[in-house]
Amino acid sequence: EAQVTQNPRYLITVTGKKLTVTCSQNMNHEYMSWYRQDPGLGLRQIYYSMNVEVTDKGDVPEGYKVSRKEKRNFPLILESPSPNQTSLYFCASSYSDRGNYEQYFGPGTRLTVT
């Protein structure tokens, strides 16, 4: 089954404790992206990657890191989480960064930073 998986689905952590949210896709997609969803703000792009070893900042990259060492995986790293990073996070992938290729989203990771 074609899918994007994220782990963990739910995470409660404390300020400053480094964490990683994993994302994996099995569709051989080149383009992968991370979004956060906040009430009244919709989905905002954090980072994206157009291929292996190619990553770039989205609209809200501060406080986040990513890496793309393999085509299928695109982990999101919070080196020192803060309460304002409490949010719902989605990973997405597609064949291309062009809009005529739909993005497939993972099920989401709900992160709470206390």
- By CB under 8 A, name the binding residues for other proteins: 4, 33, 35, 40-45, 48, 58-59, 90, 92, 96-100, 102-108
Q: For other proteins, which is the closer residue by CB, 19 or 43?
A: 43
Q: How far is the CB of 80 from other proteins (least distance, A)?
A: 27
Give every CB contact of residue 33 below 8 A, 6+ residues apart in sequence. 45, 46, 47, 48, 49, 58, 74, 91, 92, 93, 103
What is the rounded distance in angstroms from the CA atom of residue 89 to the CA atom of residue 45? 10
Q: How far is the CB of 58 from other proteins (least distance, A)?
A: 7
* The token pair that represents 75 in the structure block: 């982990």
Q: For other proteins, which is the closer residue by CB, 85 or 103?
A: 103
Q: How far is the CB of 25 from other proteins (least distance, A)?
A: 12
Q: For other proteins, which is the closer residue by CB, 56 or 70?
A: 56
